[in-house]
Amino acid sequence: MIIKPITTEKAVRLIEIDNTLTFRVDVRDSKAQIKKDIEKLFNVKVEKINVLKRANNKIAYIRLNKKNPAIDVATKLGMI
């Protein structure tokens, strides 16, 4: 389950340079579940997912396929 998007300076830079979105997700979710949720929710293709666990938080870095610009999804979410 996706909790909220992260809108730090680093997250915005990743959107522009690496086509990567950053979300805070539920600690119990697996990479496969996160991928399924993102693809269904935003109607995009996910290329790769990296996960960082810190202090009871789980942050997912989601790289989208080049055909799906991350900046379009971020604009829909109001991140940019």
Based on the structure, what is the number of domains in the chain? 1
Residue type, 3: I
Q: What is the pLDDT of residues 23-65, one digit of tens each?
A: 999 999 999 999 999 999 999 999 999 999 999 999 999 999 9
Token pair 């993102």 is at which residue?
38
Token pair 């610009």 is at which residue?
69
What pLDDT is recorded for position 79?
A: 86
CATH of the domain at 54: 3.30.70.330
Q: What is the pLDDT of residues 3-27, one digit of tens each?
A: 999 999 999 999 999 999 999 999 9
Strand pairing category for 46-54 and 2-5: unpaired
Give the residue numbers spanning the domain of 35.
Answer: 2-77
